[in-house]
Amino acid sequence: MSACIQFIDCKLCLIHIPLPLYSHFIHAIFQLILPDETVQDYNSSDGTIAAEFINISVTPVECSVVCPKDAATRFFRPIIQALGPEQRETVCISDDAFIAIQVNGEGLDAGQRVLDLTSPLALAGISIFFITTYFSDYIVVPSKSRSAVITALQNRGFIFESYTDSYISPSPITPQASSAPIIPTDVAIPTPTTLAGLTTHTFATLADHHITPLVDPTLRLHLTATYPPTRPSLLLALLRTLSARPRFISITITDTEPISLLLEESAVAGVMRGEGLLGGGGGGGGISGMGGLADGEGEGGMGGGEVLIPIVLDLRRLPEDATGIVCGVAGRLVGGRERERERDGEQREAGKEREGEGGLGVIGGGTTGGVKGVEMSYLSTARAGTVMVREEDLGRAVEALGY
């Protein structure tokens, strides 16, 4: 795998909005998608509002927003202050600044990327949020952890290029562990040092807090993106989709890529129909991306014409310093392949000792009775985590996540 990992130098804010209050914030969300001239000209001590990175997600658990801190101050904080005391307490807006890391590259499937990208940061005790899009993966980390992120990635084989503030990963790395709390804090807690240890710890934590996977098989998603340039009609279609408070949507807007969308199948065929989406339910041509594929073709991604089913983890019961969710979950799903390879190697060695060079073998990379790995993508939101799997893999994924 060759992967370029680059910081997006924009101070970000994370916002959790309970679904019953969604309508209060819809105008603020619209302003993130359709900023007017007064917004573009707005200056603060930190600089002009820009769309270096914006993610708006509506899930069965919450509405989650990642946006520049200036935008949060201008659009969201006044609404929060206008709420009644009880409602105000249910909305969470981060005081600490975050930064996004963009990952571009090829060569590994989506689930393996989750493991490879998060494990070095987990071993360093760095809290993360992970967002898969059509073209790229994004890791959102506390701004204060920037130097620790650089060190952690360098220590795991990523080559730092100071003039671009990016990394090049020359080859895949073996996943060990990861961390992703709900709202990262300064509390440092011991983290396991292996993928197996992290997975065990993660699922013990979920079980202790009675958190079980939420699955609605009727919620069918497509990972897609817009053709550049973005047409006004498409933006208006997005606003109509958001106005209806969809059961699930995720919109990622950056300065460097077309808008990435995770949409319900009904929206692709309805409101967004005819808007020229890439992949988008199997219509037309498309572009193979790291986060998704056009019409289900290419290497190293999920999305495009494929139907994805979300498995939602409601993490609101977890303490704010909880860690290890992203990689722990990915380790249970994708890590099955790693465990198979380890067991295969152990059995081959045992077979050689008993039977000589013939030994025990595995034809065509088959399993040895363990759970086969499940391909997956991941979406972190403020108070939830969503695993996305292919429709045909849903049963195995739910079984693997059972505890």
pLDDT 10s digits, 323-337 = 778 888 888 888 654
* pLDDT of 281 strictly over 50: no
Q: What is the 3-state secondary structure (H, E, C) of 340-383?
A: HHHHHHHHHHHHHHHHCCCCCCCHHHCCCCCCCCCCEEEEEECC
Q: How far apart are CA 352 and CA 394, in angstroms?
A: 37
Type of residue found at 50: A
Beta carbons of 61 and 383 less than 8 angstroms apart: yes
Angle of the 146-155 helix axis to the 110-123 helix axis, nearest 10: 110
Collapse the DSSP code of 214 into the 3-class scheme (helix H, G, I; strand E, B; otherwise coil) and give the result. strand
170 falls within a domain: no
Q: In the prediction, which pLDDT does 304 show?
A: 53
**Under 8 Å between Cβ of 96 and 222:** no
| Percentage above 90 pLDDT, the chain | 41
Give the model's pLDDT for residue 303: 55
**pLDDT exceeding 70 applies to what percent of the chain?**
68
Residue 361's identity, in one-letter code, is: G
Dihedral sign (CA 392, 397, 400, 403): negative
CATH of the domain at 249: 3.30.2130.10
Question: Is residue 284 in some structural domain?
Answer: no
Predicted confidence band at 318 (pLDDT cuts at 50, 70, 90)? confident
Q: Contact at 8 Å (CB) between 60 and 248?
A: yes
Q: Does any domain span residue 205?
A: yes
pLDDT tens, position by position, 347-359: 444 444 434 433 2
In a domain, 247, yes or no: yes
> pLDDT for 191-226, tens place per residue?
567 778 878 888 998 999 999 999 999 999 999 998
Query: Looking at the domain assignment, is residue 240 inside a domain?
Result: yes
Would residue 242 count as lying in a domain?
A: yes
What's the mean pLDDT in 250-275? 88
Pick the more confident residue, 6 or 386: 386
Average pLDDT of the chain to the nearest whole number: 75
Q: How many domains does the chain have?
A: 1
CA distance 195 to 4: 24
pLDDT in the model for residue 290: 34
- In the predicted structure, residue 21 carries a pLDDT above the cut 70: yes
Evaluate the omega torsion of the peptide bond into residue 78 and state whether it is cis, within 30 degrees of 0: no
| Mean pLDDT confidence for 267-272 | 81
Dump pLDDT digits (tens) for 108-166: 577 777 888 887 887 777 888 999 999 999 999 999 989 998 888 778 776 554 434 44
- 183 located within any domain: no
With respect to residue 298, please indicate whether it lies within any of the assigned structural domains. Answer: no
Domain that holds residue 210: 4-37+47-163+193-277+306-336+375-401
- Cα angle vertex 191, ends 185, 197, to 5°? 140
* pTM exceeds 0.85, yes or no: no
Q: What is the pLDDT of residue 403?
A: 62
Two tokens at 134?
A: 């059509």
Q: What is the per-residue burial (b if ≥16 Cβ within 10 Å, else e) of 362-397? A: eeeeeeeeebebbbbbbbbbbbbbbbbbbeebbebb
